[in-house]
Amino acid sequence: MITNAGLNAIYWAYLGREPDQGAIDHYVGHYTVDFVADDILASEERQQYMAGRVTVAQQQAQTAADLAAAKTQLATEQSKSVGLVKNVADLTAQLSAANEDVKQAESIASDDAGKIHDLTVKLDAANKAVAAANATIQQLEAADKPVPTKPTGTVVPPTSQATNPPLTPPKTSTWLTTVVDWLVSALRRNG
């Protein structure tokens, strides 16, 4: 016949919690370890417990995928803004050079109006390019905010498990099967 300790071990292994008083009254001293293990394995509560563990794992995987996608998008946007900053620096250098050319042209030859006109056109084009690049950078900086990830639910262990856990809940079904088999065989030998 199953003992309190044996019932407690089977409940933790198969359901992730300790047995309630009704289960203790029902099983202890009335049934064998094999019967109790088979009965709990076939129970609806066991099916719900395992389905809940799968759902939590799926939610965690989706959250990790969402976070990875957000990080990738952020890195892409940051690399674009770095390229635009370089372009602005190049255009600023060109503008500065064009300004110097204009000053030199004005001081060297006041009668060389054609050259001054060409340099003024280049200067205007460079000013427009710098203004456009600055506007693009401002748009990227405004868009360069962290992408929020959707919150996922968390699983809160039952109160009895949180305050008095005699056995750590399993992390994988393979590990769980090994532990349960070991517990059942130990209970069969001893109980």
pLDDT of residue 9: 92
Cα(191)–Cα(180) distance, rounded to whole angstroms? 15
Count of H-run helices and E-run strands, the chain: 7, 0
Question: Residues of the chain whose pLDDT is less than 50?
Answer: 160-162, 164-165, 170
Which run of H or E residues covers position 185? helix 173-190
Could you report the per-residue pLDDT of 106-133, keeping only the tens digit for each? 777 666 677 778 888 888 888 888 888 7
The pair of three-digit structure tokens given for residue 26, joined into one six-digit string = 């029902």
Cα(8)–Cα(5) distance, rounded to whole angstroms? 5
**Pair 134, 88: CB distance under 8 Å:** yes
Q: At 153, which amino acid appears?
A: G
Distances from the Cα of 20 to the Cα of 15, 34, 168, angstroms = 12, 19, 18
**Pair 49, 141: CB distance under 8 Å:** no
User: Which residue from 86, 84, 97 is spatially nearest to 125, judged by alpha carbons?
Assistant: 97
pTM of the full predicted structure? 0.28
Which sequence spans correspond to the domains of the chain? 4-190
